[in-house]
Amino acid sequence: MKLLTLNFLTCAIKTCKSSPSSFPLHPRDAELEIVEADLNLKFLENILPRLMWDELRVVVDELGLPTLPPTIPTRADLVAPSSPTSSSSSSDPAPSQTARDLHRILIETCVREGKLVCGNCGHEYAVKEGVANFLLPAHLV
């Protein structure tokens, strides 16, 4: 599961819906893997305003990954400054180092095994081979 997904996922239990501490879910005993993927600059530009940056920083810290900058980059930060010598025929803007770093953390860094724990109710969702189990027993729905 991509860290991108963890930045949107909440606890599924009905009584947690209204509690702010049900997001983000906290990884525990997590085994990470890097799954290489093509950088999709337009997607990063699209998703950027929807990220919860502080919560992403919390999860990144909990996973023991290098700390993210305190403030979220802007859309302009994602595009490499165009070099004056480059040919004007190239159609798409090139991604900046910031975009590459964001791609690495959001899209390529995945939780392969472990648990995701709700900060409100303590429910643990197992992750196996990257697949999270969100099936709930009927009484918790």
Q: Which residues of this protein are in contact with another protein, per CB under 8 A?
A: 1-2, 4-5, 8-12, 14, 23, 37-38, 40, 42-43, 45-47, 50, 52, 107, 129-136, 138-139, 141
Query: Closer to another protein at the Cβ: 102 or 132?
Result: 132
Rank residues 9 and 80 by Cβ distance to another protein and give the closer one: 9
Residue of 140, 105, 141, 110 whose CA lies nearest to 127? 110
Residue 84 near which of Zn ion, another protein, none (CB within 5-8 Å, type-dependent)? none
**Which of residues 112, 121, 124, 136 is near Zn ion by CB under 5 A?**
121
Binding residue for Zn ion (CB under 5 A) from 1, 3, 4, 16?
16
Task: Tell how far CA 12 is from the center of its chain.
Answer: 18
Judge whether 112 and 32 are in contact, CB under 8 Å: yes
Count the site residues for Zn ion by CB under 5 A: 8
Cis peptide before 69 (omega within 30 of 0): no
Residue with tokens 């983000």: 24
Query: From the list another protein, Zn ion, none, which binds 71 (C-beta under 5 to 8 Å, kind-based)?
Result: none
Q: Which one of another protein, Zn ion, none interacts with residue 120, CB within 5 to 8 A by kind?
A: Zn ion
Give the whole-angstrom CA distance, residue 56 versus residue 6: 8
DSSP string, 49-72: GG--HHHHHHHHHHTTPPPPPSSP
